[in-house]
Structure 1
Amino acid sequence: MKLLSGSVLPTQPWELQGAESVGLSLSQFRFAISFLASVLVGFGLRHIRSRQGAFALFWKGAVSEHIFLTGFALIYYPFGNGVFHAVFTSALTYAIMSRFRTHCGTLTWMTIFPYLIANHVLQASGLSWEKGELDFTGAQMVLTLRLIAAAVCYQDGARSIEKLRPYAVGNRLEELPGALEFFAYCFASGNLLAGPFYEIKDFLDYASSRGDWAADGKPQPSCLRPALLRLAKGLLCAAAWLAMERRTGGAYLSSEAWRASSVPRRMLMVWVVGLTYRLKYYFAWGVAEAGLIASGQDFAGWEPETGRPLWNRYVNARVRRVEFQASLAKIVADWNVRTGVWLRHYVYERATPAGDRPGLWTLVLTQTVSGVWHGLFPGYWGFFLTSALMIEMSKVLYRYEQGWSSRLRDGMPWRILQALISSYVLNYSAMAFAVLRWDAMWRVWRELAFTGHAIIFGILLLGVVLPPRRRKGAGKDRHKRPDAAADQGEAKALQEGLKIEEEVHRREEERAKEPQELKKEQ
């Protein structure tokens, strides 16, 4: 690992001055520059794609080559020789896919995921990130999702369609992509900097102008305005994070001001610290989405009613919904959305035997995989295992709602109370994510009098002692509110925590119905 920690790019005086002026470490400063440059690279890629017919006269695979080279450069600048972790694991995965078609997904799980865990351990990534030092482990996390998904989709291509779920059918690979196409997918114009995850089938369609990206007589919609709006949102979140980090960042939880505060004040400050922590992710995902829009890859088709272009294929966070959502299950669905998509379709669904109903253990397994993917620090485990209990709590509240009148259930007092409970429990549990270490996690929770866990277990216990009863006539409400069916509430709440964008999922299911037709088009 130490052999891959250097770089051929020496540190420049202007980089040190720039990093100091904005209060960032050198690695954070280089990361920010690469990140912003990825938006410009996206516009350049869009230009090349629109003229790929002309470029094809000079060399084959111009688009894929451009994506790979620019992606490699954007990743190398902040991470240096660490980028060769990506080269090695990508080459290993491609070799496995080439040699072991029927088991390549399983073998990739058994090799690439442990490799990521080893990186977490050897680099002590969590503590490094806490100090503001970035290494390649974060990019390897994003790459791990892609490599496993690509291998599993290629393995699915050798299986009978009848044995696959609709999502798997729509994304299965019947043929092995070329090496250049595969490496372009892995690096994808700097997208390893912060994600988000997307399927290799979508990427290949995009690079070859198929599917939603096919010309089919329509002019290519302008991406300038939506890209600039996403970029502005990301930069606004970055400015807010820089302003708040020094006062209410993770370090505040061990400050004298925190220790001197009363429990009620600490409960209030938990929300502020949680917001500060989330702002840097809102920045990263906002800029990442701006780059995808600039390249045209985020294009999700046309709105049927208005004919307007949709730029929401790879939305990774819905800020207002996360901050003001009443349902914990739905908050999970709006935070780190694309990783949730991966967890849903490559862990949650595949851990549930065909014909069986998903249970608590399936959710715990999914959350455990998510925790290990983030790292092995106790704080990750504390957060994700608590989040599994949070979703169970949300299910209990959901079932109680089904026995209430619509006036009470949809009334403002209950919605406000539910939002306050959800927001506090979420931010309370997220403190484990912010401090990471076992002793610090328990200290913070103890200083909050374990109020978050008390709320969770109190509601779960209430659901056992006084089970929620269905209101008479609830079956009629089923037609008014499809998600209100009490007998489907449990599965619905579980799935909402890992759901995919509805419109994109609909198109994927439609594509799954005619896989042979797609094969002929290729």
Structure 2
Amino acid sequence: MSLDFVFAPLAIKVGASLDQVKLITCLLISYPLGSLFIRIPSTQPTLKHLFNIAIASFYFVPVLNHGLPFLLLLGDVVVTYFIALSVQGPRMPWIVFFLMMGHLFLNHIERAMYGDPFDGSYNITGPQMVLVMKLTTFAWNVWDGRRPTEDLDKWQTKMRVTKFPSLLEFLGFSLYFPGVLVGPYLEYATYSSLVDGTQFNGTTYRKMLFALGYLGIHMGVAPKISFHTAVTGWFLEQSLPYRILIIQIAGFVERSKYYGVWTLTEGASILTGLGFVGYSPSGTPIWNGAANVEVWKIEVPENFKGLVDAWNIKTNVWLRECVYKRVTPKGKKAGFKSSMLTYLTSAVWHGISAGYYLTFLLGGFVTTVGRLSRSTIRPLVLPAVPEPTDRKAANGPAPKPLQPPVTLVKIVYDVVGTLCTVLVVNFTCTPFILLHLSEGIEAWRQLRWYGLWMVFGAMAFFYGGGAAWLKGFKQGALRDENPTQGLIQLVWPDQ
């Protein structure tokens, strides 16, 4: 039975699409449902698993009308479960990875052939993308549980699965309702501790208010200013500086939609007890373990790496742990090849639209420029840490490390780095939203390709001898008799 008759009048009243109203409604009712979930005794884990399965089924079938696609997702869950259970060798996680990614990619193709991937409607590929992260991570966690602990890093040791779950437990984990529609995903070890009651509970409806504010910004401003503005005749009539300014505003407006839905799911997850990471020095509980976005670090980023780490956080963890680390040979340092394979995986995971590939291809080069900048330029502007005035006593505590002084050069470096990061990111992400190859290229053309000039100009400098010159300049300064004089102090270690 479809519940469209309930949501259709509301969609007309608020001026939003039916799919948008149904999705936001599911995210909002996850708040009171989260309060119910946390009240199920930890001595009754079966009830918690069944609760997740029931709520997820309610979302998919009568609300979103995705009955058959939901059964296909359940098929992915069952297939992953039995592969992880029966295949014992190191190929197991790769088998799961390629099967799940392949099924997702086929659904992306099917949507392009028989639907409209550009109409903005809510499609089953959305929750399937979340499920792919969850299932492939589970496969790697199981494999890590079969490996010697000395071969594992900190994250792998923490998330390894040593006790294989029952099918009911695995279904409850796969269909954990606060994140089943738009994420973020969670690892099985985290879900297990949540059900066992070893996570702590916290409540916050403040997240919901912020989320609704972000969604209000997007709904109110996007019809007037968005990345789609870049392919209008009006946009081309404006001066180039004004066009560049508009695209920066459009970037925040486009991101506000993601801020809204991710913050909504974060709040609902917290209500179930997920996200507690400890206490601050003042004793205040910290509940950011379920966060999928850190808005300030994105809108005012220190550098590109910091921005990427703060955006779609759980997806970045998945890409890092299940792709980036796994394609890097043991004992070798990850480099350009690992980065590009990771970005390619992210593009395929998102879909087949050419705009994704433009964005992630350029993103790989931006990452390389950022890495070169941090290793060659940043050490030149970071001041030296002064020596502590109080030495450690015989049996006394060690002196507190002193913070490096703030210098004018470092301030200028930070400001310029933030401006460059914002400019490049909004340029790079424009095709991601426009989707079509022609519109993505046209938007870049109307922006006079400024992002390409910045990125490839920097690469030409670094690979044309600039990186070697900067490193030589630093080493020469360190050999000076008094290298700490002047505005630039050169004795800070590489970071």
TM-score (norm 2): 0.87
Matched AA of 2:86: R
Amino acid at match of 2:165: P
The alignment status of 1:238 with 2:215, answered yes or no, reads yes
* Contact preservation (8 Å) 2:105, 2:352: yes
**CA spacing shift, 1:343–1:277, aligned 2, 3 Å:** same
Q: After superposition, give the CA deviation of every residue in 1:238-265 in whole Å (9 maximum; x if it has no partner).
A: 1111111111134323323213222222
Task: Tell me, yes or no, if the aligned pair for 2:231 and 2:442 is still in contact at 8 Å.
Answer: no
Q: Distance in 1 between matches of 2:271 and 2:319?
A: 27
**Residues 153-302 of structure 1: pairs in structure 2 closer than 5 A:** 153-210=141-198, 213=199, 223-224=202-203, 227-302=204-279
Letter paired with 1:171: M
Q: Which amino acid in structure 2 is aligned with residue 313 of structure 1?
A: G
- Which position in structure 2 is the counterpart of 1:150? 138
Q: Secondary structure in 2 aligned to 1:317?
A: coil
Q: CA RMSD in A?
A: 2.4
- Decide whether aligned partners of structure 1 residues 164 and 446 sit closer, same or farther in structure 2, where only a CA change above 3 A counts: same
Relative to 1, partners in 2 of residues 1:412 and 1:166: Cα closer, same or farther, differing over 3 Å? closer
Q: Name the structure 1 match of 2:4.
A: 11
Aligned partner of 2:315 in structure 1 is 339
Deviations 1:102-138 (A, max 9, x none): 3431211121110000011101299846423111110
Q: Does 1:378 align with 2:354?
A: yes
Q: Does 1:312 align with 2:300?
A: no
List aligned pairs for 1:380-419, cutoff 5 A. Answer: 380-398=356-374, 399-404=376-381, 406=383, 411-419=410-418
Residue 63 of structure 1: aligned partner: 48
Instruction: Give the distance between the partners of 1:158 and 1:147, measured in 2 at CA.
Output: 17
What is the DSSP-based 3-state SS (H/G/I as helix, E as strand, rest coil) of the residue aligned with 2:175? helix
Show the counterpart of 2:12. Answer: 20
The residue identity in structure 1 corresponding to 2:437 is W
* Contact 1:34/1:78, CA 8 A, preserved across alignment: no
Which residue of structure 1 aligns with residue 66 of structure 2?
Answer: 80
2:351 maps to a residue whose letter is: G
Q: Aligned pair 1:426/2:425, yes or no?
A: yes
Cα pair distance change 1:345/1:400, threshold 3 Å: same
What is aligned with 2:396? none
Correspondence list, 1:478-493, <5 A: 485-486=493-494, 489=495
Are 1:349 and 2:329 matched, yes or no? no
Question: Structure 1, residues 465-493: CA drift from partner, whole Å, max 9, x if none?
Answer: 3232326349999xxx9x9633xx4xxxx
Give the 3 Å change call, closer, same or farther, for CA 389–368 of structure 1 in structure 2. Answer: same
TM-score, scaled to structure 1: 0.82
Q: How do 1:99-110 residues align onto structure 2 when only pairs under 5 Å count?
A: 99-102=86-89, 103-110=91-98
Shift of 1:444: 1.0
Compared CA separation, residues 245 and 105, structure 1 to 2 (3 A): same
Using CA pairs below 8 Å that are at least 6 residues apart, which structure has the higher relative contact order? Answer: 1
1:47 matched to 2:39: yes
Q: Cα distance, 1:321 vs. partner? A: 1.0
Q: Give the 3 Å change call, closer, same or farther, for CA 314–333 of structure 1 in structure 2.
A: same
> What CA distance in whole angstroms lies between the structure 2 residues aligned with 1:125 and 1:242?
29
Retained in 2: the 8 A contact 1:363–1:388? yes
Following the alignment from structure 1 to structure 2, what is the Cα–Cα distance between the partners of residues 317 and 62? 31
Structure 1: gaps of 5 or more residues: 1-7, 214-219, 490-522
Q: Could you tell me whether the CA contact under 8 Å between 2:208 and 2:264 is conserved in 1? A: yes
Q: Is the 8 A contact 1:318 1:334 kept in 2?
A: yes
Structure-2 residue corresponding to 1:466: 466
Corresponding position of 1:94:
81
Quote the Cα distance in structure 2 between the aligned partners of 1:419 and 1:446. 24
Partner Cα separation in structure 2 for residue 381 and residue 233 of structure 1: 31
SS at match of 1:394: helix
2:369 alignment partner, SS class = helix
Change (3 A) 1:371 1:151: same
1:33 pairs, out of 6, 9, 25, with 25
The secondary structure found in structure 2 opposite 1:355 is coil
| 1:429-440 aligned within 5 A | 429-440=428-439
Q: CA deviation at 1:408?
A: 5.6
Partner of 1:493: none
Pair 442,24 (structure 1): closer, same or farther in 2 beyond 3 Å = same
Q: Secondary structure at the match of 1:9?
A: coil
Is the contact made by 1:75 and 1:190 (CA closer than 8 Å) also made in structure 2?
A: no
Counterpart-to-counterpart distance in 2, 1:391 and 1:427? 15
Q: Which amino acid aligns with 2:88?
A: R
Equivalence for 1:322: 298
1:368-399: CA deviations, max 9, x gaps? 11111111211111111111111222223322
The whole-number CA distance in structure 2 between the counterparts of 1:425 and 1:364 is 18
Identical-residue share of aligned pairs (%) = 22
Q: Counterpart of 1:354 in 2: which secondary structure?
A: coil
Larger Rg: 2
**Measured at CA, do residues 250 and 124 of structure 1 come closer, stay the same or move farther in structure 2, by a change above 3 Å?**
farther
* Cα pair distance change 1:440/1:414, threshold 3 Å: same
- Are the aligned partners of 1:316 and 1:337 in contact in 2 as well (CA < 8 Å)? yes
Counterpart of 1:217 in structure 2 is none
